[in-house]
Amino acid sequence: MTKKSARKVLFVALEIMGIIVALIFVYPALMVITNAVKPIGEILKNPFALPKAFTLKNILDIIENQNFFSALFNTLSIAVVVVVVTVILSAMAGYKLGRFGGKISIIISMLFISCMLVPFQAILIPIAKMAKTLTIAGTKLGYVLIIIPLYAPMGIFVCQGFVKTIPISLEESAVLDGCNPFETFFRIVFPLLTPILASITVLYSLWIWNDYALASLMLTSVSRRTLTLMVYSGFSKFSNRWDFSLATLSLSVIPVLIFYVFMQKYIVRGITAGAIKG
């Protein structure tokens, strides 16, 4: 076998392995969605089979009886506010720390990195006490005010490294044209950070959508619960009704799955954008 043929065989083998691994990861999600549109009898008889009697009754019952749209609105509103504020603050802080060096910047950067190393469970009780003291426990505002500083260090760390790939001559030209520091940042630097900020936006959105620990601590009211809390409540309420439980899970997964499908290219673009300096 020639060297070229061996490479071709290896390439095909890797492709087949990749497809198999992809199917292993995708199959559980497909199983959840297919069982969500099956009657309870079919699920109990054979949960791995395709639906013989396709029905939307399970999904419609969850939408009507579990305040799905209220939970969806809460999740979307929280996600939009947290993502917008955190991305802007992370970009500004990362730019400042990455562009203007010195011992103080290094110390602050190390503090942000150390915050990423602390397990959330270790600060859960202090957060609960602080929220109660500030009278923001059980409110969406309190949840937003707490989750922003928890997510910001990762964005600051990424933006700080990306800023170093931007030529400083662009900012010098802006200053010569009369731009102040804020104009220089928002007109010159911020647009150049778009690839990495898009990646951060996707990651933040997925984190917020899947957050349970802090949401269960801060959003105790039924009217303020997110989709993740709705899923937990659904599995507790319908422990013996897999049709309703899986319908609840499918409704919570489909919106973020659609969002990820449309935004995944920005993750790759953000990862590769910083590979070439200058």
Residue 104 lies in a domain: yes
The answer to whether residue 275 scores a pLDDT higher than 70 is: no
Q: In the predicted model, what is the mean pLDDT of residues 33-58?
A: 82
Q: In whole angstroms, what is the distance from residue 188 CA to residue 179 CA? A: 10
pLDDT digits over 85-105, tens only?
999 999 999 998 888 877 888
Amino acid residing at 15: E
Residue 5 lies in a domain: no
Mean pLDDT, all residues of the chain: 84
For position 63, what pLDDT does the model report? Answer: 83
Q: 215 with 131, same domain?
A: yes
For position 166, what pLDDT does the model report? Answer: 84
Q: 117 with 215, same domain?
A: yes
pTM metric for this prediction? 0.82
| Number of other CB atoms surrounding residue 90 within 10 Å | 27
Domain of residue 23: give its range.
17-55
- Integer CA distances (angstroms), 205 to 48, 159, 248, in order: 31, 17, 20
For position 259, what pLDDT does the model report? Answer: 82
Q: 163 with 260, same domain?
A: yes
pLDDT digits over 113-165, tens only?
888 888 888 888 888 888 888 888 888 999 999 999 999 999 998 888 888 88
pLDDT band at 82 (very low <50, low <70, confident <90, very high): very high
- Integer CA distances (angstroms), 81 to 39, 185, 256, in order: 38, 21, 16
Q: 268 with 155, same domain?
A: yes
For position 116, what pLDDT does the model report? Answer: 85
Q: 240 with 269, same domain?
A: yes
Q: DSSP letter at 51?
A: P
| Structural domain count, the chain | 2
Q: 125 with 49, same domain?
A: no
Q: In whole angstroms, what is the distance from residue 81 CA to residue 133 CA? A: 23
pLDDT band at 220 (very low <50, low <70, confident <90, very high): confident
pLDDT band at 17 (very low <50, low <70, confident <90, very high): very high
Q: 46 with 89, same domain?
A: no
The answer to whether residue 278 scores a pLDDT higher than 50 is: no
Q: 124 with 21, same domain?
A: no
CATH for 245:
1.10.3720.10
Q: 184 with 110, same domain?
A: yes
Q: 255 with 169, same domain?
A: yes
Choosing from 55, 79, 101, the residue where a domain stops is: 55
Q: 150 with 47, same domain?
A: no
